[in-house]
Amino acid sequence: MNRELLKNILFYTIILALQLLIFNQFKLFGFITPFIYLIIFVHYKITYDKTILLILGFLIGLIIDLSMQTYGCHTFSTITICYLRGRIEKNSFGVNANLPSAMIKDTPLFSRISFFLSLIAIHSIIYYSLIFFNINLLSTIFLYAFINSIATFIIIWIISRLISNN
Amino acid sequence: MQFIINSIVKNRNLIIYLILSFITFSFLYNNSTLHFNELGKISTYLSATSSKFSSSITSYFNLKKENEKLISENLQLKKMESNYKYTQIKEDTLNSINSAKVIVNSINKSKNIIIIDKGKLDSINLDTGVISSKGVVGIVKNVTNNYASIISLLNTDLRLNAILKNTSTIGSVTWDGLNARILKLNDIPLSSTIKVGDTVVTGGMSFYFPKGIPIGKIINYDNSSLEGYYEIDVEIFNDFSSLSNLYILNRTDNNEIQSLLNE
């Protein structure tokens, strides 16, 4: 258990460092910043406590907000996907929702893509809604959320493949 | 108690989520000018909407009070109007106007009577004119301590002195007992020029009403009479089916004029 905990802490630290040091400086087309820290919530095992997941989401979101000066936009988006994660799992995996990991082998590819995309898209929509905070900019919010979700999804998918291969 | 604790434990994730959301939004509100302004707008809108809703409810319950206040204001305005408008009457002859509410009214008889909730104790006198905000209503015919009856314009016994507002041609209005919206204007000679839409007002040659109080407007006339007078239909300004608040004009010189006539 302690070994697994250490492994997880190391994983979270590396992902956070990658986000803060590399991806936060990354501005594709001037606005695309992939939120690779979402991989932490994608790979959070379903057997772990959901309350811990919420608190973890809050802390990680707060760290990202402090580093990006977004005043709570990341935090709220993150705790929301942490809270909704159980329902998204059920929607994506159906009867196989009680699997120990989302990236487990033998789950249907479509279910995995649906799970990844749902988490990332919900996060992006909430994040950009809070960033713009203007109902008149709804089309801009969805455009940014869509492009950013695709970019984030591609990077997270690649990292997930690398992790599962190892 | 156990039930409450169980509910909290069962919904702990939702409670934690709400608490963390609250903390996040406080952080947003306090640190971001954009969110401070926008959340301020939402808060203003919500408070204004809720205030409007609650005030619409409270104002409904205050309607009676508001109505009484408006009647009182209207009475004051009528008094002021009487001082300016009816200049041919000495200022102290129309010394008071009382307001009253209709408690009995009819329009479907040939001799319609209105009863009001004011009487002798409220300084209502016999043979005084009664008007509403739209014009002439009738004349006080009987008074008890607390009530008074009024001969309505819709009473075939009433004949009221009237003039055409534009030409000052003198005539009299009566009701033929048929249509509650139409009076007959009599005694207007064919030599006078009239047209549809002309206003008919009180002529001032009676104890009851000063000159110039509106009665109605001409809607139809017939000049084919062999007697040398028009047959004129006048539409009444007042809707007698919905009378509510009336004003009683008390003239102080009625007795003086009456005594001259009796001599």
DSSP B4-69: HHHHHHHTHHHHHHHHHHHHHHHHHHHH-HHHHHHHHHHHHHHHHHHHHHHHHHHHHHTHHHHHHH
Name the most confidently modeled range: A74-78, B43-47, B193-197. Answer: A74-78
Please state whether beta strands B231-236 and B214-222 pair in parallel, antiparallel, or not at all (unpaired).
antiparallel
What is the span of the domain harbouring residue A158? 2-165
Model confidence at B91, in pLDDT bands (50, 70, 90)?
A: very low
pLDDT in tens, A68-123: 888 889 999 999 999 998 888 888 887 655 655 545 566 788 888 888 999 999 99
For residue B173, give the nearest of B126, B235, B222 by alpha carbon: B235
Using the beta-carbon criterion (under 8 Å), do A54 and B17 form an inter-chain contact?
yes
Conformation bin of residue A94: beta by default, left when phi > 0, alpha when psi is -120 to 50: left
Query: pLDDT, tens digit, for every residue of B134-175?
Result: 889 999 988 888 888 899 999 888 889 999 888 888 899 999
**Cβ contact B24–A133 (<8 Å):** no
Asked whether the beta carbons of B196 and B218 are under 8 A apart, the reply is yes
How sure is the predictor about B92, in pLDDT bands with cuts at 50, 70 and 90? very low
Instruction: Say yes or no for a CB contact (<8 Å) between A83 and B38.
Output: no
| Alpha-carbon separation of residue A55 from A9, A49, B180, B231 (angstroms) | 14, 10, 79, 93
Q: Categorize the per-residue pLDDT at B87 as very low, low, confident or very high, splitting at 50, 70 and 90.
A: very low
User: Is the model's pTM score more than 0.90?
Assistant: no
What is the mean predicted confidence (pLDDT) over B53-71?
79
Q: Is the pLDDT of residue B84 over 70?
A: no
**Structure confidence at residue A50 as a pLDDT band (50, 70, 90):** confident
Q: What is the DSSP letter of A38?
A: G
pLDDT in tens, B95-133: 578 888 888 888 888 888 888 888 888 888 888 899 988
Q: How many domains does chain A have?
A: 1
Q: What is the pLDDT of residue B89?
A: 47
User: What integer pLDDT is reported at residue B232 of this predicted model?
Assistant: 92
Q: What is the pLDDT of residue A76?
A: 93
A46 contact partners, CB below 8 Å, separation of at least 6: A89, A97, A98, A99, A100, A101, A102
What's the average model confidence in pLDDT over B62-70? 81
pLDDT 10s digits, B9-34? 888 889 999 999 999 888 888 888 78
| Res A102: pLDDT | 46
Whether residues B35 and A79 touch (CB distance < 8 A) is answered with: no
Interface of B with A (CB under 8 A): 12-14, 16-17, 20-21, 23-25, 27-28, 31-32, 34-35, 38
- To the nearest whole number, what is the mean pLDDT of chain A? 85
pLDDT of residue B173: 93
| CATH match for B98-253 among 3.40.50.12780, 3.40.50.150, 3.50.50.60, 2.40.10.340 | 2.40.10.340
Point out the least confidently predicted range of A39-48, B170-179, B250-259.
B250-259
Indicate yes or no: CB of A72 within 8 angstroms of CB of B38: no
| Average pLDDT in chain B | 82
CB B100 within 8 A of CB B93: no
Confidence of residue A143 (pLDDT cuts 50, 70, 90): very high
Interval B201-221: pLDDT, tens = 998 887 788 888 889 999 999
Token pair of A49, please? 């406590």
CA distances from A152 to A34, A129, B7, B58 (A): 4, 17, 38, 55
pLDDT of residue B90: 47
pLDDT of residue B58: 75
User: CB distance from A59 to chain B under 8 Å?
Assistant: no
Q: What is the pLDDT of residue B88?
A: 46
pLDDT at B261: 66
% pLDDT > 90, chain A: 36
For residue B124, which of B104, B100, B102 has the smallest C-alpha distance? B100
Best mutation target among A77, A79, A84, A123 (most B Cβ atoms within 10 Å) is: A79
**Phi, psi of A93, deg, nearest 5:** -100, -15
Q: What is the mean pLDDT of residues A130-151?
A: 90
Q: What percent of chain B has pLDDT over 90?
A: 17
Better-scored residue on pLDDT, A35 or B251: A35
Least confident of B34-48, B73-87, B131-145, B227-241: B73-87
Residue A129 confidence (pLDDT): 92
What's the gap in Å between the CA of A88 and the closest CA on chain B? Answer: 16
Give me the sign of the Cα torsion angle B107, B78, B129, B233. negative
CB contact under 8 Å between A130 and B35, yes or no, is: yes
| CA-based nearest distance A149→chain B, Å | 23
Can you give the residue ranges of every domain in chain B? 2-61, 98-253
User: Are B28 and A72 within 8 A, CB to CB?
Assistant: yes
Find chain B residues with C-beta within 8 A of A72's C-beta: 24-25, 27-28, 31-32
Which of A42, A72, A33, A70 has its CA nearest to residue A150? A33
pLDDT for A142 equals: 92
The residue among B218 and A166 whose pLDDT is bigger is B218
